[in-house]
């Protein structure tokens, strides 16, 4: 207020002096008029100054709110104390808002980073069930078209009434639900979904999508495995028990039948023991119990040992087995394991090749790896089975495999053994033409060679 009354001080003093000097009534009137005019001028001048300062303050505040470069603060020396105080309060409010804003931005960025870092897909909907936010994982899972995910209704993204109902229930009734669904397509995916309301004072819902495809596949593999093992064991056991009982109940005295039955019992018990051996080997490999002795393995030696074992079977079917492996081809691996791999592949080649065919084994060095190809002129494998034949108990033709004495575990063992030696196995095949199983192993190192 000092700034308003200061300008009034001068005319008031002048009037006072004139009054004192002249002391006449007419002059007093003139002096009073002069004083009033001075008052009015002072008030107008003071109001203009306040208006100017307030306008400048308003412009500065608006400019800050809109983020335009800050205007300089009032350059007038006569800035009113009240205006200056107001400007100070606005400045401190602005600073406070700025810091809260920065904090909120930081929190929003952290939330986005956490959501996008998650394996689970997430979407958030508004009260009407329209998706308003989602993370990167969900985009990966749903692979939406150009329309994207935000702004879409659940049914437009996933054609599933159950999910749509769950979202609407969460939005309207505030209830949570869990469901599982399969997204069809080239690679079908199984999703376990949990839908929850956002909160009491927060309308809308959130859904978390967990991809359980692999989990469900493994569960199925485990269940199939148990079922397969029981079935595989039951077949020879049933045969052994049946023939043993028949022998007990008199057939033992049948000089013609008895030796045949004993022969079957013997064959089935051998099959049983092979099955148990393979199962044990596989379980040891899977639990990494097998201690491999990694050393240099000359592949020509390993292949010729394996070929020796299958020779009688090959000769019985008049199948020609030929080996072409340079003696210099030396892999890094476990000798027994490499031999086992080659034996399983040669055994299969002979098993699935009709009489009179041939089996060739080639060894080469390719791109710094030892490569062995076991090629046959057998029944071949249809493309749809190729990716599955390395699974436990998977057989293209169950009957034929069993007739040939197969356990359905040979290729699975091959895959595991090679995996343990940093190698791998591939297959190429053409039905009724033949198959080529290709194994890759690391080349022997100079250090191991001298050791």
Pick one of 134, 271, 375, 395: the residue that binds ligand ADP (CB under 6 A).
395
Q: Which is nearer to ligand ADP, 216 or 385 (CB)?
A: 385
Closest separation in Å from C-beta 275 to ligand ADP: 10
Closest separation in Å from C-beta 409 to ligand ADP: 6
How many other CB atoms are found less than 10 A from the CB of residue 161? 9
What's the CA gap between 49 and 84, in Å, rounded? Answer: 13
Long-range contacts of the stretch 3-12 (C-beta < 8 A, 24+): 3/46, 3/49, 3/78, 3/80, 3/81, 4/42, 4/43, 4/46, 7/41, 7/42, 7/45, 7/46, 8/38, 8/39, 8/42, 10/38, 11/35, 11/37, 11/38, 11/39, 11/42, 12/38
Q: Which is nearer to ligand ADP, 164 or 269 (CB)?
A: 269
Q: Pick out residues in 397-416 that bind ligand ADP (CB under 6 A).
A: 397, 401, 406-412
Q: Which is nearer to ligand ADP, 153 or 373 (CB)?
A: 373
Closest separation in Å from C-beta 308 to ligand ADP: 19
Closest separation in Å from C-beta 235 to ligand ADP: 13
Closest separation in Å from C-beta 287 to ligand ADP: 20
Cβ atoms of 261 and 241 closer than 8 Å:
no
Q: Which is nearer to ligand ADP, 103 or 430 (CB)?
A: 430
Closest separation in Å from C-beta 345 to ligand ADP: 7
Q: Which is nearer to ligand ADP, 135 or 348 (CB)?
A: 348
- Using rule CB under 6 A, residue 360 touches ligand ADP: no
Closest separation in Å from C-beta 401 to ligand ADP: 3
- Using rule CB under 6 A, residue 375 touches ligand ADP: no
- Using rule CB under 6 A, residue 389 touches ligand ADP: yes
What's the CA gap between 277 and 270, in Å, rounded? Answer: 10
Q: Which is nearer to ligand ADP, 167 or 413 (CB)?
A: 413
Instruction: Write the burial class of residue 276 (CB in 10 Å: 0-12 exposed, 13-18 middle, 19+ buried).
Output: middle
Q: Pick out residues in 181-240 that bind ligand ADP (CB under 6 A).
A: none
| Residue range at the interface with ligand ADP (CB under 6 A); choices 3-11, 190-198, 371-379, 440-448 | 371-379
Q: Which is nearer to ligand ADP, 15 or 411 (CB)?
A: 411
- Using rule CB under 6 A, residue 379 touches ligand ADP: yes
What's the CA gap between 44 and 38, in Å, rounded? Answer: 10
Which residue is nearest to ligand ADP, using beta carbons? 406
Closest separation in Å from C-beta 224 to ligand ADP: 14
Q: Six-digit token pair at 131? A: 């998706």
Cβ atoms of 418 and 441 closer than 8 Å:
yes
Pairing of strands 177-183, 131-134: unpaired
How many other CB atoms are found less than 10 A from the CB of residue 250? 10
- Using rule CB under 6 A, residue 348 touches ligand ADP: yes
What's the CA gap between 49 and 62, in Å, rounded? Answer: 20
| Contact letters for ligand ADP, residues 294-333 (x by CB under 6 A) | ----------------------------------------
Pairing of strands 202-211, 189-199: antiparallel
Closest separation in Å from C-beta 323 to ligand ADP: 16
Closest separation in Å from C-beta 262 to ligand ADP: 25
Q: Six-digit token pair at 401? A: 């495999």
Q: Which is nearer to ligand ADP, 60 or 271 (CB)?
A: 271
- Using rule CB under 6 A, residue 115 touches ligand ADP: no
Q: Which residues pair with 443 in a beta bridge?
A: 331
Pick one of 330, 381, 418, 444: the residue that binds ligand ADP (CB under 6 A).
381
Q: Which is nearer to ligand ADP, 80 or 349 (CB)?
A: 349
Number of residues located near ligand ADP, criterion CB under 6 A? 22
Q: Which is nearer to ligand ADP, 120 or 278 (CB)?
A: 278
Q: Pick out residues in 411-450 that bind ligand ADP (CB under 6 A).
A: 411-412, 435
What does the binding site for ligand ADP look like in residue numbers (CB under 6 A)? Answer: 348-349, 352, 376, 378-381, 389, 394-397, 401, 406-412, 435
């Amino acid at each position: 207020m000092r700034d308003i009354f200061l300008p009034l001080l001068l005319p008031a003093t002048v009037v006072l002096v004139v009054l004192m000097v002249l002391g006449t009534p007419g002059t007093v009137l003139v002096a009073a008029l002069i004083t009033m005019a001075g008052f009015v001028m002072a008030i107008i001048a003071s109001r203009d100054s306040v208006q100017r300062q307030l306008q400048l303050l308003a412009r500065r505040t608006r400019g800050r709110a809109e983020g335009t470069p800050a205007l300089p603060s009032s350059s007038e020396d006569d800035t009113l104390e009240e205006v200056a105080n107001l400007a100070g309060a606005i400045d401190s409010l602005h600073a406070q808002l700025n810091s809260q804003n920065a904090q909120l931005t930081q929190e929003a960025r952290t939330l986005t980073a956490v959501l996008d870092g998650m394996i689970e897909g997430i979407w958030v909907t508004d009260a009407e069930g329209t998706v308003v936010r989602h993370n990167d994982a969900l985009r990966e899972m749903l692979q939406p078209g150009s329309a994207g995910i935000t702004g879409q209704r659940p049914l437009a993204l996933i054609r599933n009434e159950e999910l749509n109902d769950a979202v609407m229930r969460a939005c309207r009734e505030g209830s949570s639900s869990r469901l599982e669904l399969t997204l069809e397509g080239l690679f079908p995916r199984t999703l376990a979904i949990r839908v929850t309301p956002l909160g009491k004072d927060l309308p809308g819902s959130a859904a978390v999508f967990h991809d359980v495809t692999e989990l469900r596949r493994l569960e199925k593999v485990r269940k199939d495995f148990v079922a397969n093992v029981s079935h595989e064991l039951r077949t020879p056991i049933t045969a052994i028990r049946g023939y043993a009982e028949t022998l007990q109940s008199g057939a033992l005295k049948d000089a013609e039948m008895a030796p045949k039955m004993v022969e079957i019992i013997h064959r089935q018990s051998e099959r049983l023991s092979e099955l148990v051996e393979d199962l044990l080997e596989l379980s040891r490999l899977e639990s990494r119990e097998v201690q491999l002795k990694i050393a240099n393995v000359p592949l020509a030696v390993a292949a010729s040992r394996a070929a020796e074992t299958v020779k009688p079977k090959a000769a019985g079917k008049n199948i020609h087995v030929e080996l072409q492996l340079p003696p210099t081809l030396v892999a890094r691996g476990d000798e027994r394991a490499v031999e086992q791999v080659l034996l399983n592949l040669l055994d299969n080649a002979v098993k699935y090749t009709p009489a009179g065919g041939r089996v060739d084994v080639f060894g080469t060095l390719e791109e710094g790896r030892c490569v062995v190809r076991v090629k046959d002129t057998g029944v071949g494998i249809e493309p749809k089975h190729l990716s599955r034949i390395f699974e436990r108990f998977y057989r293209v033709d169950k009957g034929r495999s069993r007739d040939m004495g197969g356990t359905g575990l040979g290729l699975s063992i091959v895959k595991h053994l090679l995996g343990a030696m940093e190698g791998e196995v591939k297959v190429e095949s053409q039905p009724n033409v033949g198959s080529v199983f290709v194994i890759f192993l690391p080349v022997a190192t100079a250090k191991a060679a001298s050791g």
